[in-house]
Each structure stands twice: as structure tokens, then as C-alpha cells.
């Protein structure tokens, strides 16, 4: 009779493995606690073998009120590497000697009515390019002309919910002609009336600080000047009216991203005269008028349906974004915009023009992630 250990080495290992397997099976079936432990071990082993290298275990879904995005979204056409000067949804019309220096994209027609009107860049149009038959050459001077529509996806950014009842009511603030206001504003506040006839200084604090001022009626006159000091940022929320006249100035020595005005009033947001403004502006639902020889450095967001630019020479906007996706934009006289423009329709008259300039969207403007299109 052969002994169990007298078989060949390979057969011996197989029989030995079968023997141990039967023994484990008997023990597992007979002892419930041991059975559960073995099942758990094999389940964990199976899970580990199914994890792909480089993957991580999934995290829990966010609560309904949480925002799962890590970075804000904004229309990709506003990125620094985008080289288009003007985006429109409808017709772009040029009369007189008006012109556009740069690339143009629209879903509508390009209508050239003036003998001296032209576009220097490339054109993408969803409609036609129309110009008088007596033009000796095409008024479109770019290297390419394409006839394609494009998705006009330019929603308005989120308008912040900043209200007067969130800050101490410090009464009306007035900076008269005399005596001059010598102490700066150093605290957040709500002022029903903010009237600057001469000058005032606002301290924005240290880097990372945000000074917030809410007013119902904002007005300057004559040479009313508002200066900023500090390394923080300033937010001014205007509930009802904005009047900025004469030779007034706002943040004349500062940078555009150091200040932003949010305007929720319904009356037109007007610039007139020879004033200068350095800062960003978000007009929630009113129209915008840039008149006279005013100059503005900073992005302007317009939720209204009309933007009018008129007046003398000099840029109304300098290296800035005019983002008015629902508005009809009209330029008259010899006015000009330098930067990037987004508007529903565009009409450029006289000797006015738009030319390209690289712009950077302020971090104060942020878009709801639900606007993202796949």
C-alpha cells in the first residue's frame, strides 16, 4: 500500500492543498464566527484587487446647499488668451468712418454703411457682410472671413446680496467745500446719502481686508474726489441713484481691482463731464451712458438693455471689459473703447472705434456654476 508521502512532489502538493481546503471548509461550516471572519477577509481582498492604481475612494456627495466646485467659472471668451475684440449676437453696423481694430464674432450681419468704415481683423458672422457696391475693396481687412453661428452664452455674473441692514447706519455723509474732511473713513457703514463736494479718503485696511459701504444716493459735484488708501479692497453698494459730475474723480491714483461699485438702482448710470473713474462696476439692471470726455479704467458689467457712448476724443474705457450681453451698444461722435466688448447688437457711428486690448476679469465678478455648458 502506497504511503501518502510516497507520491511525486507535484501530486503531493495538490493532495496536501485539497486536504487543507476540506479542513477549512469543515471548520467554517461548523463554526459560524469563523465563517463570518473568512467571508469578510475575502470580501476585503476582492475590493483591494479591484482598485485601479491612481484612483481614490469616492467622496460623499455634497449636501444640497454646498457648492461642489472648487473654482469659479466665467465665459471662456473672457480668458486672457482670447484674441477677439467684439462678441455680438445680432447685427454690427458701422457708419461714417467708424472702424473696429481687431477680430469680430457675431451671429448677425456685418453692415458697413460708411465709405470710411472698416474692420482690420478676422470676422466670423452668422449672417452676411453687407457694404456699398462703390467700395473699391472689401471693408473687412482680416485674413479670414467665416460664415458660422456660435453659441452666444454670456450670462450675467452673480449680483451679491449686500444690503443696508447688514451695517451700522451712520447717518448721511457729506464732504463739503469747507471745512475739508480730514479724517478718513475707516469702518464699514450704511449712509443714506453719500455726498462728496470736495474730497474724502477711504481707508481699505490691510491686504485681505474689504471695506464695505452701502448708500442709497451717491453724488459728487464740481471737483468731488474720492481717494483710497491701504492695501485692502473697497466695495460700494448703491441702492438708488448715482450722480458723478464735473471734474470729479474716483480712486485716481489706484488700480481698478482695488474697488468695485455695485449699482442696483433703476435710473441710468451716467458718466458726464471730464471725470475719471478707476475701479470695476456692476450695473444690475439699469442702462449705461458714457458721455463727455470721461475716462474709465476698470471692467463694467451692464444688466440693462442699452449702452450709449458719446463725446470727445479719448478712450471711454482703457484696457477694460465692457460686458453688456443683453444691451444694444451705440457709439457716437469720436468716442472709443479700448479692450474687449460683449453686446447684443452694436452700432458705431461718426469717427468712433473699438480696438483690441487684453483684459483681465476681476475676481469680484463670479458666475454661477450652473451656467456652464457641457
Q: List the one residue out of 303, 342, 346, 367 whose CA is nearest residue 150.
A: 342
CA-closest candidate to residue 162, choices 252, 102, 78, 235: 235
Q: What is the pLDDT of residue 53?
A: 26
Mean pLDDT along residues 293-313: 88
What's the confidence (pLDDT) of residue 281? 96
Query: What was the pLDDT predicted at 362?
Result: 79
Q: Per-residue pLDDT tens for 198-216?
A: 999 999 999 999 999 999 9
What was the pLDDT predicted at 370?
56
Q: What is the DSSP letter of 34?
A: H
pLDDT of residue 296: 87
Residue 112 or residue 66, greater confidence:
112
Question: In this predicted model, which residue has the larger pLDDT, 196 or 21?
Answer: 196
Terminal CA-CA length for the chain? 77
pLDDT, position 134: 82
Contact 134, 114 (CB under 8 A): no
User: Considering the chain, what percentage of its residues have pLDDT values greater than 90?
Assistant: 57
CA distance 210 to 231: 9
Q: Which has the higher per-residue pLDDT, 153 or 34?
A: 153
Sort strands 288-290 and 269-271 into parallel, antiparallel or unpaired. Answer: parallel
**pLDDT at position 144:** 83
Higher pLDDT, 369 or 74: 74
pLDDT at 1 over 90: no
- pLDDT band for position 292 (50/70/90)? confident
* 99-106 average pLDDT score: 96
Mean pLDDT of the chain: 81
Which pLDDT belongs to residue 114? 82
Q: How far apart are CA 280 and CA 303, in angstroms?
A: 14
Is residue 321 pLDDT above 90, yes or no? yes
In this prediction, residue 241 carries a pLDDT of 96
Overall average pLDDT of the 155-182 stretch: 95
- pLDDT band per the 50, 70, 90 thresholds, residue 19: low
The helix/strand/coil state of 27 is helix
Q: What is the mean pLDDT of residues 167-177?
A: 96
pLDDT of amino acid 15: 53
- pLDDT average, residue stretch 313-342: 89
Poorest-pLDDT segment among 83-92, 239-248, 259-268: 239-248
pLDDT of residue 72: 62
> What was the pLDDT predicted at 319?
86
Asked whether the beta carbons of 331 and 309 are under 8 A apart, the reply is yes
What sign does the CA torsion over 109, 114, 115, 118 have?
negative
Amino acid at each position: 500500500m502506497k504511503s501518502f508521502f510516497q507520491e511525486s512532489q507535484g501530486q503531493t502538493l495538490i493532495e496536501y492543498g485539497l486536504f487543507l481546503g476540506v479542513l477549512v471548509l469543515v471548520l467554517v461550516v461548523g463554526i459560524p464566527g469563523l465563517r463570518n471572519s473568512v467571508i469578510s477577509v475575502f470580501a476585503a481582498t476582492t475590493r483591494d484587487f479591484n482598485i485601479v492604481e491612481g484612483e481614490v475612494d469616492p467622496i460623499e456627495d455634497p449636501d444640497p446647499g454646498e457648492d461642489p466646485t472648487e473654482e469659479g467659472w466665467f465665459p471662456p471668451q473672457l480668458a486672457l488668451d482670447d484674441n477677439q475684440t467684439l462678441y455680438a449676437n445680432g447685427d454690427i453696423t458701422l457708419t461714417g468712418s467708424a472702424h473696429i481694430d481687431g477680430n469680430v464674432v457675431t451671429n448677425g450681419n456685418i453692415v458697413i454703411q460708411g465709405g470710411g468704415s472698416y474692420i482690420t481683423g478676422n470676422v466670423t458672422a452668422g449672417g452676411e457682410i453687407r457694404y456699398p457696391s462703390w467700395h473699391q475693396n472689401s471693408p473687412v481687412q482680416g485674413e479670414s472671413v467665416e460664415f458660422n453661428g456660435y453659441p452666444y452664452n454670456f450670462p450675467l455674473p452673480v449680483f451679491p446680496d449686500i444690503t443696508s441692514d447688514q451695517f451700522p447706519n451712520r447717518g448721511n455723509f457729506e464732504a463739503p467745500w469747507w471745512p475739508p474732511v480730514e479724517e478718513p473713513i475707516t469702518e464699514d457703514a450704511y449712509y443714506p446719502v453719500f455726498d462728496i463736494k470736495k474730497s474724502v479718503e477711504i481707508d481699505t485696511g490691510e491686504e485681505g481686508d474689504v471695506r464695505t459701504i452701502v448708500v442709497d444716493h451717491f453724488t459728487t459735484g464740481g471737483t468731488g474726489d474720492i481717494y483710497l488708501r491701504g492695501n485692502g479692497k473697497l466695495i460700494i453698494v448703491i441702492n438708488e441713484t448715482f450722480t458723478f459730475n464735473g471734474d470729479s474723480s474716483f480712486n485716481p491714483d489706484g488700480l481698478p481691482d482695488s474697488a468695485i461699485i455695485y449699482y442696483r438702482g433703476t435710473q441710468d448710470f451716467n458718466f458726464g463731464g471730464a471725470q475719471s473713474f478707476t475701479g470695476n462696476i456692476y450695473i444690475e439692471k439699469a442702462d449705461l451712458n458714457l458721455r463727455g470726455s470721461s475716462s474709465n479704467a476698470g471692467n463694467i458689467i451692464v444688466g440693462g438693455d442699452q449702452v450709449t457712448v458719446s463725446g470727445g476724443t479719448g478712450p471711454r474705457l482703457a484696457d477694460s471689459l465692457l460686458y453688456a450681453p443683453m444691451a444694444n451698444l451705440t457709439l457716437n461722435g469720436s468716442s472709443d473703447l479700448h479692450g474687449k466688448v460683449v453686446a447684443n447688437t452694436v452700432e458705431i457711428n461718426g469717427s468712433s472705434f473699438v480696438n483690441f486690448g487684453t483684459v483681465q476679469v476681476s475676481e469680484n465678478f463670479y458666475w454661477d456654476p450652473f451656467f456652464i455648458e457641457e
